[in-house]
């Protein structure tokens, strides 16, 4: 008998943590963060305490109280005992959005994490370039480890010491599309789907007595729609008893495709003489590609952030432009030397000038950023100020301050992101508007964003076509919209938030 326990994604968009369990094996489908609960109790400067291990998270139901899944260093530090063996056989990650993957951080390092190669590269980018406290997705730094440096045990070969920290690699298993693998006694197949970032996958899970299709997040109107179409065929062939389906946009009927955004943006950008500025999510390489194309269509060069450059470098031209096909924008940091004449160099100061200059500039940047400093196609605010009509500048929320240096005139600001849907986002969006107004730029949202999710008509047709015995709507605030499927012989079962 197979049990399905929902620890998130119930009556909310995101936070998916679904435990599929039978007598012989158990696995999690995703292990993501619930934005709605996290935003309810926490904010940028009111964060869960690391010192309290998982307890600040379990307090509000952000993490489920499941035994045998959490990392030993956290459990021990907050006075809980850890089990010798993990209680689950693996965690299947559908894609690298935080509401599906963020809480991997809290898991034991010996639980196998199954992800696609693209998801791996995205998580690697976030881990290598991020500075958040709970971002240990691929490598785990043993916290509260007081072992002095020279005595750090050289344990199994996946352990290595770095300073006083002991870094342990997680058991990451990169999966291939359409290739079956075992998790415990269950047979699993990853079937790629299209979503608003590379590497999204659905899973077909055969536990022996249940055949479960988990959609992850998907859409039929992106650049790789044929993936999702093929998924529907594969899922139908699988003859599932159960579909666990996302329903983010079950109440919507429209779609905006990348091609349409490209056309609209090309028209807008061709009509301006100044800098075109665009804000889109760094993980969404398809959206990046859209604006890369807009830049080409309008004889401009796409200028990306260091983080975006790092990600493109990891993808190495597979499916997306290479990092040397874009300009890399280097922001000024503490010393602020980049893009400025170094006064010490000009005045021939007491240190050999070039040495001082490179010392000042290098010192400002993190290791992962340094390789782009002397890149042929690196640019600074000066390039954007002097030749604004040559560029489209990818400028996210935290990069807005660059506009003070760039001083854009006769430009345009394209907001290519989901519209704000909660108070925090409203608040940030309000700030964006203030900045953009301050610089007298028109702010365009209309036609600039297409969702990562299929609409209601597409979702219902998809489930009718797959034709399972029952469907659980998750990742939605409108589960009742699935009810029409009861007339087609598909039993709609509302998932309940599991407490045990
Ligand atoms: Zn997603």
My answer on whether 83 and 188 are in the same domain is yes
My answer on whether 88 and 179 are in the same domain is yes
Ligand 1 centre distance from Cα of residue 97 (Å): 5
- pLDDT tens readout for residues 277-322: 999 999 999 999 999 999 999 999 999 999 999 999 999 999 999 9
Residue 218 lies inside a defined structural domain of this protein: yes
164 forms bridges with which residues in the sheet? none
- Picking from 411, 427, 444, the residue at the C-terminal end of a domain is 444
139 forms bridges with which residues in the sheet? 169
Residue 353 lies inside a defined structural domain of this protein: no
Burial of 273 (0-12, 13-18, 19+ CB in 10 A): exposed
My answer on whether 177 and 282 are in the same domain is no
Residue 347 lies inside a defined structural domain of this protein: no
Strand boundaries in 343-425, DSSP class E: 378-379, 391-394, 412-415
Longest dimension (CA), the chain: 83
How far apart (Å, rounded) are the C-alpha atoms in residues 414 and 446? 9
Comparing CA positions, the residue from 459, 463, 481 lying closest to residue 471 is: 463
How far apart (Å, rounded) are the C-alpha atoms in residues 101 and 319? 23
Q: Which residues 6+ apart lie within 8 Å of 317 measured at CB?
A: none
My answer on whether 103 and 230 are in the same domain is yes
My answer on whether 170 and 317 are in the same domain is no
Ligand 1 centre distance from Cα of residue 81 (Å): 34
Residue 340 lies inside a defined structural domain of this protein: no
Contact 391, 275 (CB under 8 A): yes
How far apart (Å, rounded) are the C-alpha atoms in residues 392 and 395? 9
Q: Tell me how far the alpha carbon of residue 395 is from its chain's centroid.
A: 18
Only one residue has tokens 């996302």, namely 246
- pLDDT tens readout for residues 389-432: 999 999 989 899 999 999 999 999 999 998 887 888 888 899 99
Give the total number of structural domains in the chain: 2
Dihedral sign (CA 57, 62, 63, 65): positive
My answer on whether 296 and 152 are in the same domain is no
- Residue % of the chain over a pLDDT of 90: 69
How far apart (Å, rounded) are the C-alpha atoms in residues 215 and 476? 13
pLDDT category, 151, cuts 50, 70, 90? Answer: very low
How far apart (Å, rounded) are the C-alpha atoms in residues 393 and 275? 7
Ligand 1 centre distance from Cα of residue 222 (Å): 13
Comparing CA positions, the residue from 270, 306, 282 lying closest to residue 417 is: 282
pLDDT category, 345, cuts 50, 70, 90? Answer: low
Ligand 1 centre distance from Cα of residue 246 (Å): 10
Ligand 1 centre distance from Cα of residue 345 (Å): 48
In this prediction, residue 329 carries a pLDDT of 95
Ligand 1 centre distance from Cα of residue 403 (Å): 30
Residue 345 lies inside a defined structural domain of this protein: no
How far apart (Å, rounded) are the C-alpha atoms in residues 166 and 160? 6
Q: What is the DSSP string of 20-35?
A: EE-SS-EEEE-----H
Q: Which residues 6+ apart lie within 8 Å of 83 measured at CB?
A: 67, 68
CATH code at position 26: 3.60.15.10
By residue range, what is the domain housing residue 57?
3-251+452-492
Q: Which residues 6+ apart lie within 8 Å of 159 measured at CB?
A: 153, 166, 167, 168
Highest mean pLDDT among 161-175, 207-221, 424-438: 207-221
How far apart (Å, rounded) are the C-alpha atoms in residues 385 and 404? 10
How far apart (Å, rounded) are the C-alpha atoms in residues 132 and 150? 28
Ligand 1 centre distance from Cα of residue 36 (Å): 15
pLDDT over 90 at 1, yes or no: no
Q: Tell me how far the alpha carbon of residue 272 is from its chain's centroid.
A: 32
Specify the range with the lowest mean pLDDT, choosing from 94-103, 193-202, 274-283, 373-382.
373-382
Ligand 1 centre distance from Cα of residue 94 (Å): 9
Residue 105 tokens read as 């951080």
My answer on whether 231 and 278 are in the same domain is no
My answer on whether 243 and 194 are in the same domain is yes
- Picking from 406, 425, 444, the residue at the C-terminal end of a domain is 444
Ligand 1 centre distance from Cα of residue 467 (Å): 24
My answer on whether 26 and 157 are in the same domain is yes
Higher pLDDT, 77 or 488: 488
Average pLDDT, the chain: 89
CATH code at position 395: 3.40.50.10710
Rounded mean pLDDT, 29-39 = 91
Ligand 1 centre distance from Cα of residue 101 (Å): 10
Residue 355 lies inside a defined structural domain of this protein: no
Residue 360 lies inside a defined structural domain of this protein: no
Q: Tell me how far the alpha carbon of residue 435 is from its chain's centroid.
A: 26
Residue 447 tokens read as 């036609």
How far apart (Å, rounded) are the C-alpha atoms in residues 6 and 16? 8
Ligand 1 centre distance from Cα of residue 414 (Å): 22
Specify the range with the lowest mean pLDDT, choosing from 329-343, 400-414, 416-430, 473-487.
329-343
Rounded mean pLDDT, 224-241 = 98
My answer on whether 186 and 296 are in the same domain is no
165 forms bridges with which residues in the sheet? 162
My answer on whether 297 and 213 are in the same domain is no
How far apart (Å, rounded) are the C-alpha atoms in residues 310 and 121? 10
My answer on whether 298 and 378 are in the same domain is yes
Ligand 1 centre distance from Cα of residue 418 (Å): 12
Residue 349 lies inside a defined structural domain of this protein: no
């Amino acid at each position: 008998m197979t049990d399905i326990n929902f620890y998130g994604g119930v009556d909310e968009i995101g936070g998916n943590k679904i435990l599929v369990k039978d007598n012989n094996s158990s696995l999690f489908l995703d292990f993501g963060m619930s934005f709605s609960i996290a935003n309810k109790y926490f904010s940028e400067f009111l964060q869960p305490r690391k010192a309290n291990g998982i307890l600040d998270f379990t307090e509000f139901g952000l993490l489920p109280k499941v035994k045998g899944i959490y990392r030993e260093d956290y459990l021990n530090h907050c006075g809980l005992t850890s089990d010798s063996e993990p209680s689950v056989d693996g965690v299947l990650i559908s894609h690298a959005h935080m509401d599906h993957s963020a809480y991997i951080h809290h898991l034991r390092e010996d639980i196998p994490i199954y992800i696609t190669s693209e998801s791996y590269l995205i998580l690697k980018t976030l881990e290598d370039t991020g500075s958040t406290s709970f971002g240990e997705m691929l490598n785990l730094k043993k916290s509260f480890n007081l072992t002095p440096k020279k005595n750090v045990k050289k344990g199994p070969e996946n352990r290595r010491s770095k300073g006083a920290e002991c870094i342990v690699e997680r058991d990451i298993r990169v999966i291939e599309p359409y290739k079956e693998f075992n998790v415990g006694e269950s047979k699993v197949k990853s079937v790629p789907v299209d979503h608003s970032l590379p590497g999204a996958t659905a899973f077909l899970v055969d536990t022996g007595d249940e055949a479960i299709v988990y959609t992850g997040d998907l859409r039929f109107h992106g650049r790789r729609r044929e993936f999702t179409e093929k998924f529907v065929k594969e899922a139908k062939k699988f003859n599932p008893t159960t579909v666990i389906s996302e329903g983010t946009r079950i109440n919507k009927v429209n779609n905006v495709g990348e091609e349409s955004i490209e056309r609209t943006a090309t028209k807008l950008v061709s009509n301006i003489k100044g800098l075109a500025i665009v804000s889109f999510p760094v993980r969404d390489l398809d959206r990046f590609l859209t604006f890369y194309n807009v830049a080409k269509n309008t004889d401009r060069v796409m200028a990306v952030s260091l983080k975006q450059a790092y990600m493109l470098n990891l993808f190495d031209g597979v499916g997306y432009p290479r990092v040397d096909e874009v300009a890399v924008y280097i922001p000024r940091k503490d010393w602020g030397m980049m893009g400025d004449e170094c006064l010490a160099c000009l005045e021939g100061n007491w240190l050999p000038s070039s040495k001082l200059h490179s010392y000042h500039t290098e010192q400002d940047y993190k290791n992962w950023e340094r390789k782009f400093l002397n890149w042929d196609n690196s640019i600074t605010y000066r390039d954007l100020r002097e030749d604004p009509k040559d560029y489209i500048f990818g400028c996210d929320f935290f990069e807005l301050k660059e506009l003070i240096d760039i001083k854009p005139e006769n430009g345009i600001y394209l907001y290519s992101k989901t519209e704000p849907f909660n108070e925090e986002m409203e608040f940030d969006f309000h700030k964006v508007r203030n900045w953009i107004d301050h610089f007298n730029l028109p702010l365009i949202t209309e036609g600039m964003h297409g969702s990562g999710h299929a609409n209601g008509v597409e979702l219902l047709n998809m489930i009718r076509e797959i034709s399972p015995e029952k469907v659980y709507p998750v990742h939605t605030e409108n589960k009742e919209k699935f009810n029409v499927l009861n007339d087609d012989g598909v039993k709609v079962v509302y998932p309940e938030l599991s407490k045990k």
